[in-house]
Every structure is written in structure tokens, then in C-alpha cells.
Structure 1
């Protein structure tokens, strides 16, 4: 498409936006979904994943409506949201690969069902999100204790804090784990 045709199209879209689409998710979707999907496709290199993430972006807008006051403001917001969705997507792929690598080391007769594997992946993704929300020292203390089996005294020395502070860190992390567990139980 020529530059003048693209400029005319954007001008028409901008005019359409200002004539009322900010009040309608349908209009927002109509004006921005193809652009967002193309934007995601360039970053992900996969049209199917881009389509899924573009849909996720609009589902999020449906769940938590935003007042977007301009065409450019809508695109800026959608691109910020899409960057976060890409990061989440890549993190999930890393988690799925690590899980598949762990399964590859097991005998086929000892593999969990496909349903159980999906539950494990979802749980690992939720734990990853929880760890990302925690302050760095809290997450480090939690991982050192739970994955490496280090005693609180050793963790305290490594982090340069008191053992009492490590106990506080662990309490913070365990509270987040309890909230995750409560959320999963509520969804069953």
C-alpha cells in the first residue's frame, strides 16, 4: 500500500475514532485488532500466537474497561499491553520447555496424564508470576529454602540480613503461595 493511501486510511480511522469509538469496544476492536495482530506477529514470528494474544488483549479490555481518549492513545495502550503479553508468552514457553525437559528424563510409563501436565504447567506459571511480583530478596530466600533446601541461617548470611528477616521473607512468600492455592481450589 502506498504511503498516501496509508496516511488517508489512518486519517479516516482517526476521524472515526474521534466520532465515538472510544465508547465502544467493538469499534476499538474494529479499528485496532488487525494492526495489533500484525504488530504481535512481527514480534512473535507466529501468526497463530499473535492472533491469540491480540484476542487476549481485547478480552482484558472487556474485563477491565479503559477510557482511551484518542486513536494514538489507544494504540499506545494496546502496544504496552501487548509487550506485557509477549513477555508472559515467552515466559510460559520457557516454563513449558523446562517441564518437557523434565518429562523427557522420566520413563514413559511414569508420565502424568495430559490433564495433570496442564495443571502442573498452569501452577508453575502462576508460581513464576508470584515470584516476579515479590521483592528480589523475598523471592531469592524462598527459592533458596524451597528448591535448594538451605537453612534460614545460611540464606541470611548470603543475603546479608538477619535470620529473623529471612523468616519474614518466607512468611511473605508463603502467604502468596496460600493465595495461589486458594485461587486454584476456588476454581475447582
Structure 2
């Protein structure tokens, strides 16, 4: 076993000692052996990427926390995909996008959802009213029952948040 990658032996031991348990835990919550296997692998990939240097005190709690987040991501992705497919079902077949375009749209929607998830609900609501419904700040203020200044602060906060996620975290 090579010692060249810091933390690698710990991850190997963690995998050997807890992979079967984690996969069983996921299978009991997902009711799918395939999804459980995929998320168990994704959990250990996250552990590898984090390169935790110190030993993990409670390995199952640590793995469960990562896996729970991945389950939530999976469910959200499927909710978005389901909503997209319901929308597509209402579009005449000749106007429907190709399968490749649909996949790109779903991935984009998932990324947008992930970006907006970091916003407080009133900030997200103001942002969506402005961006999706094209509402002006005064109309958003009236709809939400808040001041114009608050709407403007919410929109500025949402734009800063999206900018940070899109540009600053890439570097």
C-alpha cells in the first residue's frame, strides 16, 4: 500500500470496513440496489476529494452525513427531471427538444436549483419573480408585502450570491 497520497490508507480502511454497511443503509432508504451502489461509491469519492488528514472519530456518522446529502441531491434531481418531463408532455412532439438538449436542460435546471438553494426563501422568491416573471421591483414589493428597499436588497444579495458561485468559486 503506497503512502504517497496523504490520507489514502485511511480512506482504503474506511472503504473496506464500512462500504457494505453504507450500501445496505442506502438500500434501505432508497429501495434500489443500483441507486444505493452508486451513492455509496459517490460517498467514498467525496471522502477522497476532501482528503481528510486526521482520523475520523465516528466513521459511520461521517459517511451517513455525506450519503444523506447525496440522497437529497438525487431526489432533487429526480424532482426536476420529473417536472421537465411533465412540461415536455404538454409540448407538441414536433416542437420537443432532442434527447441531448433535454439532458442539457435538466442539468442546467439542477445547477440553477443548486445555486438558488443557498438563498433565504424571501430572497429566492424576489429573485425568481424578477427573473422568471419579469416583475419590476415595485410589483415584487407589492406582491410580497415588503418595502421597495427590501426588494432591492434581496435582488442585490441574490445577484452577488449567483456571481460568487459562478465566478469566484471556480478559481
Q: TM-score range by the shorter chain?
A: 0.7 to 0.9
Q: 1:174 aligns with which of 151, 159, 165?
A: 159
Once the two structures are TM-superposed, the CA of residue 134 in structure 1 deviates from its matched residue by 0.7
Secondary structure (helix, strand or coil) at the match of 1:69 reads coil
**Structure number having the greater helix percentage:** 1
Q: Could you say which residue in structure 1 is the equivalent of 2:119?
A: 134
Once the two structures are TM-superposed, the CA of residue 59 in structure 1 deviates from its matched residue by 0.8
Q: Is the 1:141–1:166 contact (alpha carbons within 8 Å) kept by the matching residues of 2? A: yes
Secondary structure (helix, strand or coil) at the match of 1:31 reads helix
User: For this pair of structures, how many residues does the alignment match?
Assistant: 162
Please identify runs of 4+ aligned residues in structure 1 that moved more than 4 A: 178-183
Structure 2 stretches lacking a partner, 5+ long:
1-6
Task: State the TM-score, normalizing by the size of structure 1.
Answer: 0.76
Task: State the TM-score, normalizing by the size of structure 2.
Answer: 0.83
Q: Could you say which residue in structure 2 is the equivalent of 1:93?
A: 78
Q: 1:52 aligns with which of 30, 35, 38?
A: 38
Q: Is the 2:10–2:55 contact (alpha carbons within 8 Å) kept by the matching residues of 1? A: no
- How far apart, CA to CA, are the structure 1 residues paired with 2:117 and 2:12? 33
Once the two structures are TM-superposed, the CA of residue 175 in structure 1 deviates from its matched residue by 3.6
Which segment is superposed worse, 51-60 or 160-169?
160-169
Structure 1 stretches lacking a partner, 5+ long:
1-20
Change (3 A) 1:107 1:159: closer
Q: Is the 1:138–1:170 contact (alpha carbons within 8 Å) kept by the matching residues of 2? A: yes
Once the two structures are TM-superposed, the CA of residue 145 in structure 1 deviates from its matched residue by 1.8
Once the two structures are TM-superposed, the CA of residue 155 in structure 1 deviates from its matched residue by 1.7
Q: Give the root-mean-square deviation of aligned CA atoms.
A: 2.3
- How far apart, CA to CA, are the structure 1 residues paired with 2:161 and 2:94? 34
Residue deviations 1:111-142, cap 9 Å, x none?
22222211111111111111111122110101
- How far apart, CA to CA, are the structure 2 residues paired with 1:57 and 1:147? 35
Once the two structures are TM-superposed, the CA of residue 147 in structure 1 deviates from its matched residue by 2.5
Secondary structure (helix, strand or coil) at the match of 1:24 reads helix
Q: Could you say which residue in structure 1 is the equivalent of 2:90?
A: 105
Once the two structures are TM-superposed, the CA of residue 82 in structure 1 deviates from its matched residue by 1.2
Change (3 A) 1:63 1:22: closer
Change (3 A) 1:180 1:121: farther
